[in-house]
Amino acid sequence: DAGRRRLAEALAARRVDLLAAEAGGDALAVARDLGFAGLEEMYAALGGGQLPLPGLMARLLPR
């Protein structure tokens, strides 16, 4: 999936592991907060250009 791959690469550049975010439930929580039923829907929106990468990154990056 293009959206997931794009997010994984962007997070890896910041030394954040997408697999860990998925396993820990953080990614799913963000997806649901954004109104998606699950991760696949969120990744599809990201890949299709309906979800901006910077906003998603801001929600997933540790503060």
Domain residue spans of the chain? 2-51
Q: pLDDT tens digits for 40-63?
A: 999 999 999 999 999 999 999 987
Q: What is the pLDDT of residues 3-45, one digit of tens each?
A: 999 999 999 999 999 999 999 999 999 999 999 999 999 999 9
pLDDT value, residue 42: 98
Q: What is the pTM of this model?
A: 0.92
Longest Cα–Cα distance of the chain, Å, equals 27
- Give the span between the Cα atoms of 63 and 60, in whole angstroms: 9
Cβ atoms within 10 Å of 48's Cβ, excluding its own: 10
The DSSP secondary-structure symbol of 50 reads S
